[in-house]
Amino acid sequence: ISNGSLTIAKDLPGETRIWVCAQTCDNSYLETWIPVVAAPRATNVHLRAALNGGMKYVSNSTRSWDVNTDGKVLNLSALVYPFAAAQDVTWTVNNKGIATVTKNADGTATLNFTGTKFGKLVITATANDGSKEKTSFTLNVVNSVISLDLNSGLSVVGGKSLNLSKELTIDPAKPTNKKVTWTMLMKDSDGNLVEVPKTVATLSTSGSLSTKKITDGQNIELVITVTAQDGYGAADTETVVITPAT
């Protein structure tokens, strides 16, 4: 201590209680004792996020977050080490267009996704004790396909083509990954689903259905399934009928 300025060592072993005496200089010998509690400086910060039903440690990791299935709010907390160090931290994000972060009264934080922008979001917690200790984790924020709706009641005359992608509605209209996979089966005379021979029809990866002419005058039922490629499970199946030319 010098001229009333108290300097505390950086590497305290734990919370330390110090008594400081202030004494007059006029020979009256008046004095007072002031207790000072000194906390050790932060040496590390660990982040936790409410993922998969509980708080998980996420420091220096990369996770995926889908605003449609995971929600538009994520709860966060930070642990400053050693435990005796001040637990107060500052929360920041690198892209407020994707999400904003609000510090709660108890020191935790709430991440609020805007739902309008998506991409890589870095969340950082920095200790407020002057140590500059901080840690981050990254979220790949996506806008998944909620549903696929292929128009029902479709038919095409044998020998003609039908662009199924134009008959498809994707919700939301602008997902992060708009790619879909098309598959096709057909019903045989017993109603069983079987592979479609190329002599009947072919289906391209872009959803273009090309059919052959029907020679026996009987309708052929194709079962078309479209599946979103983003891995979140959206799909739809409809029947497309190939009819003979009239």
pLDDT in tens, 11-63: 655 555 555 555 566 666 566 656 655 667 888 999 999 987 788 999 999 99
Q: Which of 28-32, 49-53, 69-73, 208-212 holds the top average pLDDT?
A: 208-212
β-bridge partners, 172: none
Produce one character per residue of 132-154: b if its CB has 16 or more CB atoms within 10 Å, e if not: ebbbbbbbebbbbbeebebeeeb
Q: Which of 36-45, 163-172, 187-196 has the highest mean pLDDT?
A: 163-172
Residue 55 confidence (pLDDT): 87
Q: Please state, in angstroms and rounded to a whole number, the distance separating the CA atoms of residues 176 and 10.
A: 48
What lies within 8 Å, CB to CB, of 200 at 6+ separation is 186, 211, 212, 220, 242
For residue 212, pLDDT over 70 is answered with: yes
Instruction: Specify the pLDDT at position 42.
Output: 85
**Of 115, 116, 91, the residue nearest 103 (C-alpha):** 91
Q: How many CB atoms lie within 10 A of CB 15?
A: 13
- Higher-confidence residue of 28 and 168: namely 168
Better-predicted residue by pLDDT, 15 or 191:
191
Q: Give φ, ψ of 142 to 5 degrees.
A: -125, 160
What is the pLDDT at residue 9?
A: 56
Q: What is the pLDDT of residues 214-232, one digit of tens each?
A: 988 889 999 999 999 999 9
Model pTM score = 0.73
* Confidence category of residue 1, pLDDT binned at 50, 70, 90: low
- Strand 134-142 relative to strand 119-127, pairing: antiparallel
CB neighbours of 193 closer than 8 A, spacing ≥ 6? 185, 186, 187, 223
| pLDDT at position 85 | 85
